[in-house]
Structure 1
Amino acid sequence: MRAVVLALAALVACPAQAEFAPLFPGPATPTASRTEPMASYRLPVGAWRPEGLPVAVLEGALRQSAWQLPEIRLSTLEVLMALRGQLQGAGWTVLFECDTDACGGFDFRYETELLPEPEMHVDLSDFRYLAARLGEGGAARHLGLIVSRSPQAGFVHLTEIGPATASDLPLQPAMAPMTAPQQPGDPILPQPTTASDEIGAQLLARGAVALDDLAFESGAAVLAQGDYASLAALAGWLAANPGQRIALVGHTDATGGLAANIALSKRRADAVRARLVNGHGIAAGQLEAEGAGWLAPRAPNLTPEGRALNRRVEAVLLTTESDRP
């Protein structure tokens, strides 16, 4: 209890600068995190509706973290109430709060940028969201909390964005210094790599790569709207290598019959192929779409986390154009 009081006192003492450090009602294991010194983030501040999701477009230092609460018996409301109390005690103002269907269900979830499964699991039938602000004006900090659970564990996701400081920002000279021409015998300096380079390296080394950030509605083949980093990287590599061909292979978990799952996974692969062709300008001849159903799992189907890992679309490297019969 003394540690809790001290932590809250520290937050109150410097509200404009302090990051929110949640104190969980039980053991919690960090599962993933992401930080950016300067980023833009669309923080939901209202429920999803057909005309769109109300958001506050914020800029600053971004921090996202996810935790798993193993074997916790509390409901999502009880977990959120504990965290809400900490926020309010530290001076945060709640801007918006909602529960599952009142938030907008599937549409709200997939228009909210979160760390991916399985590190952050969101049950579309049981999640709660809260947005809050600390301070005013340019010094204000904002955050979004999502609490969900599986039968075995609870999950908490925190997004916090606040004003960047000079120490947060990478410094670069206004003009790159001039360098002498490369001379024979000079060491060859490494060139910066891009996401397209990295996905191409994985394809060439392993023959396949999972596009783990794609989001589909449960039991459906509609690819949710959004900018997917994996598709942008794959499209960049295919555009730079027009002779290469890719098979997009859909996979499901082991829920339901094989024939139905193969058909569903094929439709999901078709949706990804259409997005690459229509949204990224990739030649249709570079892409095929297939479905494997639940025949190639990468984790046991005994837990929600395992099933989430198995639901995916993979890019599989095929022969080049010159190798085709």
Structure 2
Amino acid sequence: MRSLLVFLLCLSGFAAHAADLAGAKDHPAIKRFAGSEIIAYDYKRFDEFDLQTSTFKNYNLQIKKREYTQPALHLEGAHTTLWYESPGDTSSIELIRNYQNELVAKGFQILYDSSKDGAITHLNNYLAPFGAVELKTSRSKYVLYAADQKGIRSSTAKLEKPEGSIYVSLTAVEWPKDDATYKAKRGAYIAVDIIEPKAMVQNMVVVKADEMSKAIAATGKVALYGILFDTNKADIKPESKPALDEIATLLKAQPNLKLHIVGHTDNVGGLESNMALSRRRAEAVMAALKGDYGIAGARLTANGVAYLAPVAVNTSEEGRAKNRRVELVPQ
């Protein structure tokens, strides 16, 4: 009898979640509201997210970002997005209060709560970003964007842990009645974003010595992304060895080749500090080639140009990652 009861409970739990979007799953940091189902889901190993901590002012169409009375907290790291549908008599305030209570019980600190923000005069265009998202969803991708503006509730929270902080952003809305166009059911919907800040893992393929030679012959330089440094430091990380091995192989195969080693950075920080940092990183590469591989110092010159020669925009983490590089240029 006990085994049968356990089986039935498991079966009922499966049935409750059977309507979830295929491939979607709850995040381990937070449970779902009872009776809700996942209607949209996305996960990125590394993404950027602006977390609200103050009063919403407007949605800036030019830069396609929300504006607040205080700058948003810019986060970069793993990003999970979940949209939940809670049909029936559920309201947005009930939904967001349940999530807030759950977060507080888990040790989170509430950073912002729109329902307690007396400075808000309007929430026009607060849902505008939802009109541009391209999430995998079983509803219309506009289901949050087209919801009742009067029912919007938003909140953010933070949990500090020794292994790294977790941030949560909540946006709850209401649908007053069923709507076939947006595949919406009467009830409340909540967008849950979980951000786990962390440094991006450099994942560029190591360029082989013969590929370096071909690139230099074709374009007069070769860009390398396998030489890694910690933020604002010039100490070469141990995982850079495969890239250094290939540079040494190139130089030993072409004994008459002399190289400028040029350090490049992104635009985070001032020009003067980045100019010095990029040069120190180039000097570190030169020192490694001389000390570890026996390359003659007369064949190498270290230079740094900071962010003055970008190969991508510096307005996104993807672009900044492409700009952080070491280039080899023949003398």
Q: TM-score range by the shorter chain?
A: 0.3 to 0.5
TM-score, normalised on structure 2? Answer: 0.42
Larger radius of gyration: 2
